[in-house]
Amino acid sequence: MAKPINCFKCKHFYITWDRVTPKGCRAYGFKSHEMPSVVVHKNSKEDCLLFEAKPEKKKNKLDDLNSDDLW
């Protein structure tokens, strides 16, 4: 079995305010209780084909407060 897709790393994943369906996928347009990649796999028997990795965050100089440059 292939490694499951991590929705937290996908740019289409979002968290909703709904307690019943707290996880959503903008690409497929649904919300569910389970991770969207799991729902897609259960229904299509294939891995999610719309996964897109989130862009890398630019590192802020203040992200590392132990840096010698700040002191």
CB 15 within 8 A of CB 5: no
pLDDT tens, residue by residue, 19-68? 999 999 999 999 999 999 999 999 999 999 999 999 887 776 666 777 77
pLDDT at 2: 64
What is the rounded CA–CA span in Å between residue 64 and residue 34? Answer: 34
**pLDDT at residue 66 in the model:** 76
Which pTM value belongs to this model? 0.73
